[in-house]
Amino acid sequence: MTANELLLEGFELMLLGMGIVFSFLILLIFATKAMSALVTRFAPTPAPVIKAAPKKVAAAGAAAPEQDAELLAVLQAAISQHRARRG
């Protein structure tokens, strides 16, 4: 075989391979669209979500003094325990 014949045969094989891949991708697109249509047709519609009224959050300065003292004690205990473990 001459170089021209080999080049022509390689070009034909390339076009054949690219054509097969292209046709497979087109088939894949149609299959995906068909599955999407089936899912939207037969899937149940989601129930409406009812949002609860947002709860009012107390301001940071409005906490009771007892809670502040308890929180401070807990934080101090956690820090001292952490420092004791680290050495």
More reliable by pLDDT, 57 or 2: 2
Residues 6+ apart with CB under 8 A from 9: 1
Is the pLDDT at 3 greater than 60? The verdict is yes
The whole-number pLDDT of residue 62 equals: 60
Q: How many residues does the chain have?
A: 87
d(CA 80, CA 74): 10
d(CA 47, CA 29): 30
DSSP letters, 12-75, are HHHHHHHHHHHHHHHHHHHHHHHHHHHHHHHSPPPPPPPPPPPPPPPPGGGS-HHHHHHHHHHH
Read off the pLDDT of each residue in 77-86 and give the average, rounded to a whole number.
Answer: 93
Q: What is the pLDDT of residues 39-75, one digit of tens each?
A: 988 887 777 888 887 777 655 556 577 888 889 999 9
The whole-number pLDDT of residue 58 equals: 59
More reliable by pLDDT, 84 or 62: 84
The reported pTM is 0.47
Handedness of CA 22, 24, 25, 27 (dihedral sign): positive
